[in-house]
Amino acid sequence: MAVGKKIKVTLVRSTAGRLAAHRACVQGLGLRRIRQSVVVADTPENRGMINRAAYLLRVEEA
């Protein structure tokens, strides 16, 4: 994990009816709508949120 590395995260599935913790992780990443993308730092904290809700997200290198 390089210093200053970024990843692009896109919400591809709805959070409706999902576990509250998974919705919170998606919201914590800054995602609100389907097909919305955000660029976040590649940190262990962000990776943990991505891993928890991975089935809702698409992740690419930015």
Give 45-59 pLDDT, tens digit per residue: 999 999 999 999 999
> How confident is the model over 2-24, as pLDDT tens digits?
678 999 999 999 999 999 999 99
CATH no. for 6-61: 3.30.1390.20
Distance CA 19, CA 9 (A): 19
Q: Does 30 have pLDDT greater than 60?
A: yes
CA atoms within 13 A on the CB side of 29: 37
How far is residue 22's CA from residue 56's CA, in Å, rounded to a whole number?
A: 9
According to the model, what pLDDT value does residue 3 have? 73
Annotated domain spans of the chain: 6-61
Contact 33, 11 (CB under 8 A): yes
Predicted local distance difference test score (pLDDT) of residue 4:
83
Q: Is the pTM of this model over 0.85?
A: yes
DSSP state of 18: S
